[in-house]
Amino acid sequence: TVFPDSASASLSVAKRIADLIKSKQLLGENAVLGLATGATPIEVYAELVRMHKEDGLSFSNVITFNLDEYFPMQPDAVQSYVHFMKEQLFDHIDIDMNNVHIPDGTLAKEDIAAFCLEYERMISSIGGLDLQILGIGRTGHIGFNEPGSAPNSGTRLVTLDDLTRRDAAHDFGGKENVPTKAITMGIGTIFKAREIILMAWNRKKAGIVKKAVEGEISSDVPSTYLQLSDKVGFVLDEEAASEL
Ligand code: GLP
């Protein structure tokens, strides 16, 4: 779906999320959301905060799992995805923080594999993700599933692509300060969600959006795997869609 701008596109995604939360509330069930970081979802989160404050949307039945976190990363560092999620969303809504899950950037290396298995187990044990939202990196990554990621990959420690680290350099005051690794949900983890929405805005995403939507399905561009599923929606602004 192509919207004239990121504001109208973000409103539509926020509305989809709110509708899901409310429909689950009517059933007395939890809504299980897979959340993303980066600049792309910021307006979606701002609209959800507005809906909470002005329209009374409650997040008391919401359970969240974030896609990824840098490794190593302290949760209180300004670049951490824990910090990002609190600042953009969690600090402003009525979510129970016990229902919030974000990969742990503070683990000892030998504990990562067990943590990742447990992350997968927690997602399945509550019945899986109802909705996963995604941005897209210029390498074609979703989460931090960089080129080379297998379609059945699970949550794991990965090495970040050079382009991804360059794109993050501004946040870290130089590429040399960007962690070389991250913990990310896998492509297989993402694909188990019942609904997936990939969002992309701005001209700088137009090239990778074209590859993701129209390119040959290949591990070289992990977002091309999304072509294999009919439960995936791309929500784009006109600039991001301009090469389609
Ligand atoms: C990071 C995140 C991705 C995100 C990507 C794009 O690499 N791990 O989940 O999609 O950045 O970021 P932005 O939305 O800022 O363009």
Q: How confident is the model at residue 132 (pLDDT cuts 50, 70, 90)?
A: very high
H-type alpha helices, the chain: 6-27, 42-55, 81-88, 112-125, 162-172, 187-191, 206-214
Counting from 1 in the atom list of ligand 1, the atom nearest the Cα of 164 is 7
What is the CA(192)–ligand 1 centre distance, in A?
Answer: 20
Q: Is the CB of 135 under 6 A from ligand 1?
A: yes
pLDDT digits (tens, 9 = 90+) for 136-168: 999 999 999 999 999 999 999 999 999 999 999
Q: Is the ipTM of this complex over 0.90?
A: yes
43 in active site? no
Helix (H, G, I), strand (E, B) or coil at 180: coil
Average pLDDT of the chain? 98
In this prediction, residues 21-33 reach a mean pLDDT of 98
What is the secondary structure of 129-162 as a DSSP string?
A: -SEEEE---TTS-BTTB-TT--TT--SEEEEPPH
pLDDT digits (tens, 9 = 90+) for 70-127: 999 999 999 999 999 999 999 999 999 999 999 999 999 999 999 999 999 999 999 9
In a domain, 242, yes or no: no
What is the CA(78)–ligand 1 centre distance, in A?
Answer: 16
Counting from 1 in the atom list of ligand 1, the atom nearest the Cα of 182 is 8
Rounded CA gap, 125 and 59, in Å? 20
Q: How confident is the model at residue 39 (pLDDT cuts 50, 70, 90)?
A: very high
Q: Determine which residue's CA is closest to atom 7 belonging to ligand 1.
A: 137
pLDDT of amino acid 4: 98
Residues 20 and 130 sit within 8 Å (Cβ to Cβ) = yes
What is the CA(29)–ligand 1 centre distance, in A?
Answer: 30
In a domain, 244, yes or no: no
CATH number, position 100: 3.40.50.1360
pLDDT of amino acid 201: 98
In a domain, 142, yes or no: yes
Q: Is the CB of 190 under 6 A from ligand 1?
A: no
pLDDT of amino acid 115: 98
Q: Is the CB of 3 under 6 A from ligand 1?
A: no
Q: Determine which residue's CA is closest to atom 12 belonging to ligand 1.
A: 38
In a domain, 243, yes or no: no
Catalytic residue among 43, 69, 120, 146: 146
The partner residues of 18 in beta bridges, in order of sequence, read: none
Our count of domains for the chain comes to: 1
In a domain, 39, yes or no: yes
In a domain, 139, yes or no: yes
Its pTM stands at 0.97
Domain that holds residue 230: 2-237
pLDDT of amino acid 116: 98
In a domain, 134, yes or no: yes
Counting from 1 in the atom list of ligand 1, the atom nearest the Cα of 41 is 14
* 77 burial via Cβ count (<10 Å: 0-12, 13-18, 19+): middle
In a domain, 65, yes or no: yes
What is the CA(15)–ligand 1 centre distance, in A?
Answer: 21
